[in-house]
């Protein structure tokens, strides 16, 4: 297996584990959502919204983990890419359209992960030309503004 695919698989597992932690936080105590993510309008965050966010995050986490296990599955790969695109769209709309999120580290971190993941996953080795880890690093650093 290529070095790029190993890096991609590790990235997916790491992001999946972090998402599982966020899922547990959503079910345990919803205050972290209005303290870290939805700081623009914290009064809109309640237990139901936190549990819905938790289930959505858990589903994304499971899909990403399964993709890391079976990275050569084209359909699963595309579904995984969509989890990052949907997350990017969600956080951008909460930030710029609805005003429920402010540009804090709690919002900017998921935006960077979604953007970096989306750029790094555009052409996997099994679906197109091999992308080197150098290209992966270039996309991530440009997404982070470095």
Residue-level pLDDT at 37: 87
The domain in which residue 28 lies consists of 3-144
Work out how many domains the chain is built from and give that number: 1
Whether residue 6 has pLDDT greater than 50 = yes
Pick 138 or 55 by higher pLDDT.
55
Tens digit of pLDDT for each residue in 88-146? 899 889 989 999 988 887 777 777 777 776 655 554 444 443 333 444 444 443 433 43
* Among 97, 92, 104, CA closest to 35: 104
Tens digit of pLDDT for each residue in 29-54? 989 888 888 999 999 999 999 999 99
Could you tell me if 105 and 144 are in contact, meaning their C-beta atoms sit under 8 angstroms apart?
Answer: no
Residue-level pLDDT at 118: 62
Residue-level pLDDT at 131: 36
Cα angle for residues 33, 34, 38 (degrees, 5° grid) = 90
Residue-level pLDDT at 63: 98
Mean pLDDT of 19-27: 94
Whether residue 57 has pLDDT greater than 90 = yes
Q: pLDDT category, 25, cuts 50, 70, 90?
A: very high
Cα–Cα distance between 72 and 137 in angstroms, integer? 21
Tally Cβ neighbours within 10 Å of residue 58: 18
Could you tell me if 61 and 19 are in contact, meaning their C-beta atoms sit under 8 angstroms apart?
Answer: yes
């Amino acid at each position: 297996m290529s070095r790029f695919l190993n890096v991609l698989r590790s990235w997916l597992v790491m992001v999946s584990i972090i998402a599982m932690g966020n899922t547990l936080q959503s079910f345990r105590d919803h205050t972290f959502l209005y303290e870290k993510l939805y700081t623009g309008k914290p009064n809109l965050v309640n237990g139901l919204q936190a549990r819905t966010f938790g289930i959505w995050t858990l589903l994304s986490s499971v899909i990403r983990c399964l993709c890391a296990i079976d990275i050569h599955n084209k359909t699963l790969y595309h579904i995984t890419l969509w989890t990052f695109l949907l997350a990017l769209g969600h956080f951008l709309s909460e930030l710029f359209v609805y005003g429920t999120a402010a540009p804090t580290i709690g919002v900017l971190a998921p935006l960077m992960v979604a953007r970096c993941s989306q750029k790094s996953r555009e052409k996997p080795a099994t679906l197109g030309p091999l992308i080197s880890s150098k290209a992966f690093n270039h996309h991530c650093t440009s997404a982070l503004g470095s």
